[in-house]
Amino acid sequence: MSTVEFTALFDGQRVALYNFAFNLTRDEEAARDLVQETAYKAYRYLDRYEPHTNLRAWLMTILRNSFINDYRKRRRRQTLHDHTANNYLLDSGDASVHNAGESALTMQEIQSAIDTLEPWARVPFVMHCDGFKYEEISTELNVPLGTVKSRIFFARQKLQAALKSLYKSAHIRDIVD
């Protein structure tokens, strides 16, 4: 396909591309820039276009992917460069804050709560905490994937209930002391 043919075909799709770009960006200038970037990329990769296929779909895909890539790039830039002043942290008083949640339950109490679980729930839960994926646990224990997920869910529920009662008793113990 020659440059003249491509330009004519692209101009026929320009309005649809602009409408799609505006729908994504909600900004006229950004939509025009996105259409321009799509034209550049389409021309640059014209050799990858299969003649007699859906040109509009190919162009829309380029436009959508360009939008997504730009969006992700902007998000990373915003996350990495925090431009806010952190002056409120100066002279804020104590260097640390006492967290009653950390002191109320010790690791031994949590481990003993895990040990009270039935083996059918404890084994997959501990494997999941150790970093195994659901599929790996399923293969290792030779049980269906849904069963593994259910057992881990039930283990979490039982642990939450046990730790909540432990926390309440430890909290009462702290108040009395």
Query: What is the CATH number for 35?
Result: 1.10.1740.10
Answer yes or no: do 67 and 38 share one domain.
yes
Question: Does residue 104 register a pLDDT over 60?
Answer: no
- Does residue 115 belong to any structural domain of this protein? yes
Q: From CA 113, how far away is CA 125, in angstroms rounded?
A: 12
Domain boundary among the residues 80, 113, 131 is at: 80
Answer yes or no: do 123 and 154 share one domain.
yes
Question: Does residue 103 register a pLDDT over 70?
Answer: no
The range of the structural domain enclosing residue 67 comes to 3-80
As a whole number of Å, the end-to-end CA separation of the chain is 85
Query: What is the CATH number for 152?
Result: 1.10.10.10
- Does residue 87 belong to any structural domain of this protein? no
Answer yes or no: do 71 and 127 share one domain.
no
Q: From CA 38, how far away is CA 136, in angstroms rounded?
A: 42
Answer yes or no: do 64 and 130 share one domain.
no
Answer yes or no: do 71 and 115 share one domain.
no
Q: Are 55 and 49 in contact (CB under 8 A)?
A: yes
pLDDT tens-digit readout, 42-99: 989 888 888 888 989 999 999 999 999 988 888 777 655 556 665 555 555 555 655 5
Q: Given this model, what pLDDT does residue 83 score?
A: 60
| Mean pLDDT of all residues belonging to the chain | 81
Answer yes or no: do 163 and 132 share one domain.
yes
pLDDT tens-digit readout, 132-172: 898 999 999 999 989 999 999 999 999 888 888 877 766 55
Residue with tokens 């992917």: 65
- Does residue 124 belong to any structural domain of this protein? yes
Residue 115's pLDDT band, with cuts at 50, 70 and 90, is: confident
Element (H, E) at 52: none
Retrieve residue 84's tokens: 């806010």
Answer yes or no: do 143 and 76 share one domain.
no
- Does residue 149 belong to any structural domain of this protein? yes
- Does residue 18 belong to any structural domain of this protein? yes
- Does residue 170 belong to any structural domain of this protein? yes
Q: Given this model, what pLDDT does residue 67 score?
A: 92
Q: Given this model, what pLDDT does residue 163 score?
A: 80
Taken in order 12, 20, 57, 65, the sign of the CA dihedral is: positive
Reduced to 3 states (helix: H, G, I; strand: E, B; else coil), residue 83 is: coil
Which of the 8 DSSP states describes residue 96? S
- Does residue 88 belong to any structural domain of this protein? no
Residue type, 172: I
The count of domains in the chain is 2
Question: Does residue 14 register a pLDDT over 80?
Answer: yes
Answer yes or no: do 105 and 172 share one domain.
yes
- Does residue 128 belong to any structural domain of this protein? yes
